[in-house]
Amino acid sequence: MQSRKEIAADGITIEINGRREFLTAAPDTPLLWALRQQIGLTGTKFGCGMALCGACTVHLDGAPTRSCVTPISALAGKRVTTIEGVSGPVADAVHAAWVAVDVAQCGYCQSGQVMAAIGLLTTSSAPTDEEIDRAMDGNVCRCGTYPRIRTAIHQAAAALRAASGSSNAR
């Protein structure tokens, strides 16, 4: 449901990384450009403009979404999380694994890779290689970090399972 307050005549209010932001860009502006140029959050990257490469991946209500083809007009009342704002035990485990495995080379695709990986591990605690393929195939890397991304995802998943196993939860 789009709230009247969130679509004013001269802009749209969207929650980004927990803050309410008033975006004055034209409604058909892709979220990617509103993030990078109006808000100044440059962690989300431009790679193709056609949702073919995944460099622009953010979370929309927690789900990985390609921001280069998502107009801001579609976002009223939604929660956007970018690489700058993603947090919690899954994000921590993914960041830690990424560093431990030394995944990144040029790093340009990695914001999108990390967001996709966090999305996967939020819904799947022990992803198989096939599930990793499906979740990550939309994120292109030209530096060849795929083998290490796979290793890091398995490592993060194991760390999360160990952490939840050692607590009394569930």
Partner 1 sequence: MKRRTFLAVGAGVGGALFVGWALMPPRQRLMPSTGRRTPNGTVALNGWLTIAADDTVTVVVPKAEMGQGIHTALAMVLAEELGCAWEQIRVEHSPIDAIYNNVSAIVEGLPFHPDAHGPLVRSVKWLTAKSMRDVGVMMTGGSSSLLDCWMPMREAGASARQSLLAAAAARLGVDVSTCRVESGAVVCGTSRLRYGELAESAVSHRPDRVTLKAMADFSLLGKPVPRLDADAKSRGRAVFTADVQVPGMRYAAVSLSPTFSGTPAQYKADVVQRMPGVRAVVPLKGSHYGDAAGVAVIADSWWQAKQGVDALTVQWNDGQHASLSSADIMRTLRDAALTGDGLPFRSVGDAPAEIARASRVVEATYEAPYLAHAAMEPLSATVKVTKAGAELWVGTQVPGFARGAVAQITGLDADQVTVHQHVIGGSFGRRLDVDFVAQAAAIAMALPDTAVHVQWRREDDMRHDHYRPAAVSQLRAGIDAQGRLTAITAHSAGQSAFQTASVRLGIPLARFIPDRTTAEGTWDQPYEFTALRSAHTSVSLPVPVGQWRSVGHSHQAFFFESFLDEVALALTQDPVAFRASLLQQHPRALHVLTLAAERSGWGKPLTEVPGAPRRARGIALHSSFGTTVAQVAEVSVSDQGRIRVHRVVAVIDCGFAINPNIVTQQVEGAICYGLAAALDGEITIANGRVTQGNFHEYRPLRMSETPQIETVIVPSLEVPSGVGEPGLPPLAPAVANAVFALTGTRLRTLPLRLQSGAADAGAT
Nearest CB to partner 1, comparing residues 16 and 165: 16
Q: Closest Cα partner for 34 from 10, 12, 50, 52? A: 12
Nearest CB to partner 1, comparing residues 7 and 108: 108
Residue 106, phi then psi, degrees to nearest 5: -75, -30
Interacting positions 45-74 with partner 1 (CB under 8 A): 45-50, 52-53, 55
Q: Segment contacting partner 1 (CB under 8 A): 2-10, 24-32, 119-127, 158-166?
A: 24-32
Residue 132: alpha-carbon gap to chain centroid: 15
Q: Is 26 in the site for partner 1 (CB under 8 A)?
A: yes
Binders of partner 1: how many residues, by CB under 8 A?
Answer: 56
Shortest gap between Cβ of 142 and partner 1 (angstroms)? 5
Site map for partner 1, 113-152, x if CB under 8 A?
-x-----------------xxx-xx-xxxxxxxxxxxx--
What is the residue whose two structure tokens read 């991304």? 149
The per-residue DSSP string of the chain comes to: ---GGGEETTEEEEEETTEEEEE-S-TTSBHHHIIIIII---SS--S-SSSSS-TTEEEETTEEEEGGG-BGGG-TT-EEE-TTT--SHHHHHHHHHHHHTT--SS-TTHHHHHHHHHHHHHH-SS--HHHHHHHHTTS--SS--HHHHHHHHHHHHHHHHHHHHHSS--
Q: Is 11 in the site for partner 1 (CB under 8 A)?
A: no
Shortest gap between Cβ of 169 and partner 1 (angstroms)? 26
Shortest gap between Cβ of 125 and partner 1 (angstroms)? 20
Q: Is 98 in the site for partner 1 (CB under 8 A)?
A: yes
Chain residues binding partner 1 by CB under 8 A are 25-26, 29-30, 33, 36-38, 40, 42-50, 52-53, 55, 82-84, 94-95, 98-99, 102-111, 114, 132-134, 136-137, 139-150
